[in-house]
Structures are given as C-alpha cells and as structure tokens.
Amino acid sequence: MAEGRLYITTPIYYVNDQPHIGHTYTTVLADVLARYHRLFGYEVKFMTGTDEHGQKVQQSALARGLSPQQQCDEYSQRFKEMWSLFEIVYDRFIRTTEEDHKRTVQALLQKLYDQGDIFKHTYTGWYNVSDEMFISESDVTEEGKQSGRIIQVSEENYFFRLSKYQDWLARYINEENPDFIQPESRRNEVLGLLRQPVNDLCISRPKSRLSWGIEMPFDPDYVTYVWVDALINYISGIGWPDSPEFSYWWPDALHLIGKDILKPHGFFWPILLHAAGVGLPKKLLAHGWWTRGGQKEAKTVTKALAAQAPVRHIREMAADYGVGSIRYFLIREMTPGMDQDYSEEMIVTRLNSDLANDLGNLVSRVTKLVRQNFNSQVPAEKDCETDPRGQELIALANGLSDQVRTHAIDLKPNLAVDALIRYVRSLNVYLTECEPWSRVKQGDLGKRQAAFCLVVALKGLYRVAVLLHPVMPRKMEALLASLGCSIEKDGLNGQFLARDFPEAGTTVPGGDPLFPRIDWKAIEQKIQALSPIAPEQPKGKAGNDASLISIDQFRQLDLRVAEVLEAEKVPKADKLLKLKIRIGEEVRQIVAGVAEFYRPEEMIGKKIIVVANLEPAAIRGLESRGMLLAAREGNQLTLLTLENQSIASGSKVS
C-alpha cells in the first residue's frame, strides 16, 4: 500500500527566455520533493512544461525571423535539455501547443460561457505589453508609456466573472483551508488582495492584435488570454475532465511557484476551477526569489549590477562544480518562502565547507583506512571492540530517516539536508576523537577499536547517501558504489532505507574523490574576465572591425570628472566600497568593486572618472548610480584619475 499520493507541478516556463537559476530552482525543488516522496513510499506524478502562447512569444519569434511554432519547438527543447542535465526526472512534460491541451482549454471556457460566467464588454484602459495584463491607472509609469511597454487600449473583450466568487475564495482560504497557500506570508498576501474591490478578469485578446493563442470556442475572432490558457495545463496534463488519471491525481496536487506568480495561482486559478465545478489543488507553495545584490535574478539584471556582481550562468557553474553540487546548494541554501541572495563566492564557500571538507573528506578517509588496514573488507562484529559513542551514532543514523521524512513531507528539504550534514559532522568529530589511523597500529585491541569506528562511519555514510540521493542522485550513486553498494541509475527505492548496510565482509572499493576542493582564486579570475573593469584586452592591435564603435556610439557615454567626498566599506562584502561622489552640483552614491585595492581613506578627495549615465542598480541592497573607471592588469587595479587635479568635478571627459 502506498503511503499516499503526490501530483507535483512546476510553473510552465515561457519560451522566450533561457532557463536560468530561478527556473532551475523551482524545477530542482520539485524533483527533490518528488524523489523524497517516492523514497518514503508515496506514488508520485511530476509534471513540468512550457507556456507557449501569447504576445511575448509571438514578438520574439518575429524578431528572430521564425514562426511562433519554430520558436516554441526550439525553446521547449532547451528546457528539456537543461532538465536532463540537472538530473531531473519528470513524468510528463506538457506544452500548451499540444492539441489535447487546446481542446481542454476550449471545453472549460465553453462550460463557463454556457453557465453565464463569461460576458462581452468594451474596456478602455492601460495595458502592460510585457506582462500581458491590463493594469490600473496607479501602475502606469512615464517610462512605461515612453518605451511602449504600457499602452492605452480600447477594445471589446470577453470577461470572466471573478468578482462573483471573491467572497467564496476568501472563506475558502481563511476559514476552511488555512493550509492551502504556503507560506503564511503569501496566504496573507492573497487575503489582502481579496479584501480589495476586484475587477472581472479579461480572458480574451482580439485576433486582430494577437493571433498566437487558443481560439475562443464561442468566438473565432478571439484567442484565449495566455494566463488562462497556461493555468489550465495543470488539469489538461492529466486528462480533465473524463480521464481516470485526472480523478486519481488531482486531489493530491501541489503547485510549486515563485512568489511573482502568486496572483494568478492563488486568486484567478482557484476561482476558475471552482466556477467550473472542479475541486481545488491541495496546496500551493510560493517560494521566494534568488536575488543578486537584492535584485531578482532574471534576464534583465541591470548591466551595472552584472558588471559589479558578476555570476556565471548556472550551466557554466554546473560544468565547474558538478550538477549535484549545484542542486545541493540550491536546496540547502534557500528556505522555501524566503528570498535568498547569492554570489558565486557564496556557492563555492558552501560547497567547500559541506561537500569537500565534511562529506567528501569523510568518505576518502574511511574508504582509504578500510583499504589499507582491512584489505578493503568491512570488519566482522567479532573483530570489533564497540564504544558507547559509536553505538549512539549508529542509533542516530537509524533515526535520520524519520527526521528527513518529516522535513521532506513538510516541504522543507533544506532542513532535511541540514540534518544530514550535521550528522556527517558528528561522524567526522567521532573519527577525529577515535583516531582509527593511530589505533590500527596499537596492537589487537587498538585494531578492534579502529574496526568498530570504521563500521560506524560506513553505516552512517550509507544512510546519508541514501537520504541525500534525492538531492544529488548521480553523486550519491557514486558514493554508494564506493561503499560497495551497487545501484542502478535512479534505482533507489524504499528497500534501501530498510537495509542494514554494509554487512561484514562487504568489499569497499572506494573511488575517486567525490567533491574535490574548489580553488576560489582560479574561479574568481575566470569570473573577472567577464567583468567590464576586469577583462585584460590583448595588448597590441586594437581588435578587428566588428569591435569598432562609431563616434556617435562613443558620445552616448556620459563620462564625467567626479570628486570622492566619502568612502566606506560595505559590510560583509570584501570587494565593495560605498562612495559618495560629487559631479558638479550633484551628489550621488556609487558602489564600486575596488575595496581590495584602495582603503576608504585613500579614496577621499580623489578626482576620478565615472560613467554618469549608467542606469541605477542595487548592489547588496545599496543604490549605485554610476560606475567608476579603473585599469586592471593581473592582480593590480588603478583608478583612472586626472593629471591635473584642479579640473572641476562635473567636467565632461571626451
């Protein structure tokens, strides 16, 4: 008998963006939770996919000279490749351009239309082209209007009677199902939305403006609003309305989403379902954002921030550190629900500490000692002299399954990983205190004591490897193999939990180091090569023609002389200084990556050159308006200053 069921979904991703750390996190989280549930005896269905209709897709296909379908095929393939690289095993990959999905969307809309929940109405208002949403007057910005991102639209459209069900949803969330939206902060956010007056939801787009969508079943001049189309994937993917698969999985649905898409999932989706007579998913978990310098990680991270806090693409990091290690970092570091700032240095510090020092080191020490002193065989019980701490650690190892199970089923895999790594640390402490490497040389009793100590470590490592497998599948398969437990790719199941491994006499083959220590300095140099103040241009010939810019392009740069008025270190950021500078009459703040080369007091009074018209960025939560210029050679960095220091600040550099 299965323990229960889980139908776990990720958002379906837009096919106009490369998968980045944000998409990867949600999908890895879903995969880890799916694997933990399977390990603990649940039946699981895991679905992810791509969201392929709408204006953004149509526009980006057009810009690339492709048909929308070609664009969709190319990008959905990229997501699939990324997920295969990241060891993600889903049961279903849904694409909203599939015929079955289109039919389901139409069936659901027809039902709502027939029962009078959809009506036609002329609407005049502001429309955000990039979010594909009508917005209220208060959300209109000058910049948005000027860039064409926000436009005024007056058109006849179909609307869904969202407001009719507003009170029902408030009751559902507030009184009847307080666990429906997690964490609590997000639940409160939705309740806040429900307390305000609600507009009915515009669910169509005229084909004259947008053709790339699912045709409205009752009016061929319109296509379905992409969000309504997208949300329905969660039920079309399992065969709503008639398939037995649907009734089997739907009551145990868990949607994982980022907090950016809480409103459609926590507000529109439950109401659409309820109106159509479909039950609600069991849970919605909205996690926070991966941020860099306080800014949401996305394709649009400002150039200034990208320059000052460079991080390589997650694929490149995975190539250097290993996919398993990146999965580990993502799961270990983020508390679902909270935002998490990151930098590449943070990743390396975490991996070196938990994986290279704690886990990897323990595996090498133990397997080497067994090889050298016990002919690679697990010592028999009669050859062991037990000790109380070792026995306690064996008991603790046996209790780890329950602990991990509780955290994982509670959707807190970060706590599961934390418990496992803490256990690894206690094994390391035990080994250091027990010193099996010395005891083996201290006669029969010493050798018997060492034997027990190693058996304790091997048993503990086996348990840790099984319980960390959902987080790092390939790596933990390698670890199990090095302990002599042969396992097929993704072949882990509950039986491994029940096993008391290793038995006496098992051969412990050992293996290559699992988590070699990462040399941060070497990585840092690679990263610096990406930063505008860092790259060392080949000396000599000034590049080829493609690298030349016109005088007009150069004039777009507003380079100015600035005087440094104040300078201080940014707490917990070794490389950053916060500077107050004066450019003519104007005083502003910039954050610069020069702290390793200049002390704050050395900066004060200096006249430097800054790019004054760089878009503002938040670096470690601090506003930075501009960028200073500096020359770099190897490990040296020198500010560009003026030969004649009496030149007034604000002077133009040309």
CB of 260 vs ligand MSP, minimal distance in Å: 5
Question: Distance between CA 504 and CA 517 in Å, rounded?
Answer: 32
- Determine if 257 is a binding residue for ligand MSP (CB under 6 A): yes
Enumerate residues 6+ apart whose C-beta is below 8 A from 81. Answer: none
- Window of 13-21, 80-88, 118-126, 155-163 that interacts with ligand MSP by CB under 6 A: 13-21
CA distances from 103 to 9, 51, 106 (A): 21, 16, 5
Number of helices (H), then strands (E), belonging to the chain: the values are: 26, 26
Which residue of 8, 26, 187, 305 would you call a contact of ligand MSP, by CB under 6 A? 26
- Determine if 150 is a binding residue for ligand MSP (CB under 6 A): no
Which residue of 89, 135, 191, 298 would you call a contact of ligand MSP, by CB under 6 A? 298
| Dihedrals phi, psi of 277, to nearest 5 degrees | 80, 20
Closest CB to ligand MSP: residue number: 22
Q: Which helix (H) or strand (E) segment is 496 a member of?
A: helix 494-498
Which residue of 78, 296, 371, 425 would you call a contact of ligand MSP, by CB under 6 A? 296
- Window of 6-14, 75-83, 322-330, 349-357 that interacts with ligand MSP by CB under 6 A: 6-14
Residue at token pair 């399992």: 238
- Determine if 12 is a binding residue for ligand MSP (CB under 6 A): yes
* Among 260, 280, 258, 275, residue whose Cα is nearest residue 179: 280
Enumerate residues 6+ apart whose C-beta is below 8 A from 454. Answer: 366, 369, 370, 374, 379, 436
Which residue of 150, 162, 210, 231 would you call a contact of ligand MSP, by CB under 6 A? 231
Q: Is residue 582 within 8 Å of residue 559, measured between CB atoms?
A: no
CB of 560 vs ligand MSP, minimal distance in Å: 33
Nearer to ligand MSP, 23 or 560 (CB): 23
Which residue of 290, 342, 462, 598 would you call a contact of ligand MSP, by CB under 6 A? 290
- Determine if 260 is a binding residue for ligand MSP (CB under 6 A): yes
- Which of left, alpha, beta for 141 (phi over 0: left; psi -120 to 50: alpha)? beta
Which residue of 6, 22, 228, 562 would you call a contact of ligand MSP, by CB under 6 A? 22
| Dihedrals phi, psi of 36, to nearest 5 degrees | -65, -45
Q: At what angle do helices 413-434 and 443-468 cross, to 10 degrees?
A: 170
What b/e string do you get for 89-126 counting C-beta neighbours within 10 Å, with b at 16 or more? ebeebbbbbeeebbebbbbbbebbbeeebbeeeeeeeb
Q: Is residue 589 within 8 Å of residue 623, measured between CB atoms?
A: yes
- Window of 17-25, 392-400, 428-436, 606-614 that interacts with ligand MSP by CB under 6 A: 17-25
- Determine if 14 is a binding residue for ligand MSP (CB under 6 A): yes
Question: Distance between CA 205 and CA 621 in Å, rounded?
Answer: 39
Question: Distance between CA 485 and CA 496 in Å, rounded?
Answer: 10
- Determine if 642 is a binding residue for ligand MSP (CB under 6 A): no
Q: What does the DSSP 8-state code read for residue 282?
A: S
Nearer to ligand MSP, 23 or 102 (CB): 23
Cis bond upstream, residue 241 (ω within 30) = yes
- Determine if 328 is a binding residue for ligand MSP (CB under 6 A): no
- Would you give the distance in Å from CA 182 to the centre of its chain? 18
- Window of 10-18, 68-76, 114-122, 361-369 that interacts with ligand MSP by CB under 6 A: 10-18
Dihedral over Cα of 137, 138, 142, 143: its sign: negative
- Determine if 86 is a binding residue for ligand MSP (CB under 6 A): no
Which residue of 46, 268, 289, 328 would you call a contact of ligand MSP, by CB under 6 A? 289
- Determine if 25 is a binding residue for ligand MSP (CB under 6 A): yes
CB of 201 vs ligand MSP, minimal distance in Å: 15
- Determine if 533 is a binding residue for ligand MSP (CB under 6 A): no
Q: Which residues in 41-80 contact ligand MSP (CB under 6 A)?
A: 51
CB of 30 vs ligand MSP, minimal distance in Å: 10
Nearer to ligand MSP, 135 or 261 (CB): 261
* Among 293, 317, 348, 304, residue whose Cα is nearest residue 531: 304
CB of 335 vs ligand MSP, minimal distance in Å: 13
CB of 49 vs ligand MSP, minimal distance in Å: 9
- Window of 252-260, 393-401, 540-548, 594-602 that interacts with ligand MSP by CB under 6 A: 252-260
CB of 6 vs ligand MSP, minimal distance in Å: 18
Size of site (CB under 6 A) for ligand MSP: 22
C-beta neighbour count of 371 within 10 angstroms: 15
Nearer to ligand MSP, 51 or 358 (CB): 51
Look at residue 590 and give its three-state secondary structure: strand
- Window of 11-19, 168-176, 197-205, 362-370 that interacts with ligand MSP by CB under 6 A: 11-19
Which residues contact ligand MSP by CB under 6 A? Answer: 11-14, 17, 22-23, 25-26, 51, 230-231, 233, 257-258, 260-261, 289-290, 296-298
